[in-house]
Structure 1
């Protein structure tokens, strides 16, 4: 079988890449190992539309998050994807954190984030009376959305231009062939198809596929570290109308409060380094959550948290240091017709449309 472009992975990023390539006139086949789209990283997160606040100026995360967030709001409006610009508050709960909050605001403005306002204690409590904070940074560009509906819309756009989806197909390796890449599929000893171009958007499996890509230099196969994050769900009604975030911590954004479109509240994720992905939530982890949440919401009731769900983030560093997305194309690794996406964690969902355009540009260069 001769194919034009194969996208490996039907999460939000893979589907956005398929959409962008289809809109550019390519014939695209999306191959997904699971039996449903978006069942990995894309379905185990906070469903937040990030403004682009935290990331180093000029990084892929900063540029693609800001561009992707603007595109995502317009995409949701156009396709009827449920979403809400609820805004968020990043809070300094102690006096010695206020200066750090100023630094977060400066980085956000350098990234081109609009809708920012520094609030003192009185202003923050006027917005959220239940909040305890010395100061806060208000981001009006932050929101929430229905990620599954978004992925269905991405797939619909791609399919309208001829893209196809095959579920339950596990691509285990790539071999060089004269006209592109031979696709090794689980259960088959020889390539079953040849694709002129391949996009490796396999999420937690991206490094494994890269390690079985014939000729790919070792320096373009970064290590993978699993950062598990557990969520706990609030029992009862939330007193907050905004998302509430503490200052960032190594490996993540701290135990924050997010809202769903039905008005429910959840807390997380925390950071737990694991050797293999697991998705159980240990109820004992709630003790740390109570302490972290009561730093900004002292009235959190006892027994107010119940285990929710867990996700695993594909980190490129095991130290907790923030690493940029690694999106490499032919100009980087020297392999024609191949794009690899590594370490696409938060804000990958927000940035997905911009990531898709970036992938299409790398393959057209």
Structure 2
């Protein structure tokens, strides 16, 4: 049996950020990825938005890691040449009955340490975005967009520069806790057994399933996995907007919002559809619901202008009708197993938070100072 120091399961944006943080801390790191490329699931099927940290409950991991992660991510993009743009976001009230909601969001954001939101009235909005229909909005200037694949390549490159090794097509088929360390069964074309001192489960959608099959981990430390599909549609015409446009949040997500890619093309979504597994099919008929939601803030949306783009599935640990769960990053203090960290429910703002998540994992493993509120 081959012995390794740290094994990170999963090469999405969070797994790569965790592996990089461990490598920077001087650890020998092996990344196991079941697919033939990095970041093929949640990391490749999202809005590519750098979030400010506005909505999440005060003191939650989502709030804390998003705010610190956003600062770290902009710095990382500058240092490593990752394409991004701080384009800003407008959270819009389309009628007078929604304006109180904007003020609640602003107060909530302040509690999270987001101090730069500005309240705009209808005239200011019209000057900024003439095509937008809204009576008021919050401008979030620190919201941006990013090339998610470019980010993952930069994280992988820096992790490898510090000694990390990536193994593709290396699915984990079994896990067991030993005293000390872990035995990891790896399938694929060259099956092997590994013994690791440290194990970090960053498997995204598959993290609860892997943890549930881990011998030596008590069942009460494994949450149920839920899957919330989000469909995206692209705009066939040229967009009149230069900012991201978000309605007020809705249960399960942030509403049918307009985001931009780095080429300036617009896309809409995601909506929320609870599904039983990883079904990435897209029903073109869902565009009808999108039209109605979009026209509340953009009445000028042309007929038949939405084209099916792609879907993503949020790796949730809370189900329909339940409050959105916080990130679960369970270290030894939670489950009592030295060297083990399980990451569950790392949905949005996971990309924005990725660098801070890497630091937090190191803190749980007592490799750095713990994160404080």
Give a deviation string over 1:299-345, Cα, whole Å, max 9, x none. Answer: 00001100000000011111252110010000111111100000000
Contact 1:177 1:194 in 2 (8 A): no
CA distance in 2, matches of 1:114, 1:309: 34
1:323 aligns with 325
1:53 aligns with 2:54: yes
1:121-142 CA distance string (max 9 Å, x none): 1111111000001110000000
For 2:119, what is the secondary structure of its paired residue?
strand
2:90 matched residue in structure 1: 89
Aligned 1:173-192 pairs, distance under 5 A: 173-186=174-187, 192=193
| Equivalent in 315, 337, 340 of residue 338 of structure 1 | 340
| Cα distance per residue 1:70-127 (max 9 Å; x no partner) | 0000000000000000000000112111101110111111111132101111111111
Q: Distance in 1 between matches of 2:302 and 2:188?
A: 52
Q: CA deviation at 1:185?
A: 2.1
CA contact (8 A) 2:181 2:198 kept: yes
Counterparts of residues 1-365 of structure 1 (less than 5 Å): 1-186=2-187, 192-320=193-321, 321-364=323-366
**Deviation at residue 187 of structure 1 after TM alignment:** 6.3
SS of 2:56's equivalent in the other structure is coil
State the 1:191 CA deviation.
6.6
CA distance in 2, matches of 1:240, 1:122: 16
| Structure 1, unaligned runs of 5 or more | none
Aligned-pair distance for 1:172? 2.2
Contact 2:177 2:217 in 1 (8 A): no
| Cα distance in structure 2, aligned partners of 1:221 and 1:228 | 22
The 3-state SS of whatever aligns with 1:106 is helix
Runs of 5+ in structure 2 lacking a partner?
368-373
SS of the counterpart of 2:237? Answer: coil
User: What is the total number of aligned residue pairs between the two structures?
Assistant: 365
> What SS does structure 2 have at the residue aligned with 1:51?
coil
Runs of 4+ aligned residues of structure 1 deviating over 4 Å after TM superposition are none
What SS does the corresponding residue of 2:280 show, helix, strand or coil? Answer: coil
TM-score with structure 2 length normalisation? Answer: 0.96
Q: Contact conserved, 2:120 with 2:139, CA < 8 A, in 1?
A: yes
- Distance in 1, Cα, partners of 2:115 & 2:102: 16
Report deviation, 1:178: 3.4
CA distance in 1, matches of 2:238, 2:217: 52
SS class of match (1:199): strand
**1-structure distance, mates of 2:197, 2:6:** 6
Report the Cα distance in structure 2 between the residues aligned to 1:141 and 1:114, rounded to whole angstroms. Answer: 10
Where does residue 371 of structure 2 map in the other structure? Answer: none
Conservation of the 8 A alpha-carbon contact between 1:114 and 1:141 = no
Instruction: Determine the C-alpha separation between the residues in 1 that align with 2:126 and 2:239.
Output: 15
Secondary structure of the structure 1 residue equivalent to 2:215? coil
Q: Is the Cα–Cα contact under 8 Å of residues 82 and 151 in structure 2 kept in the other structure?
A: yes
Q: What SS is found at the alignment partner of 2:76? A: helix
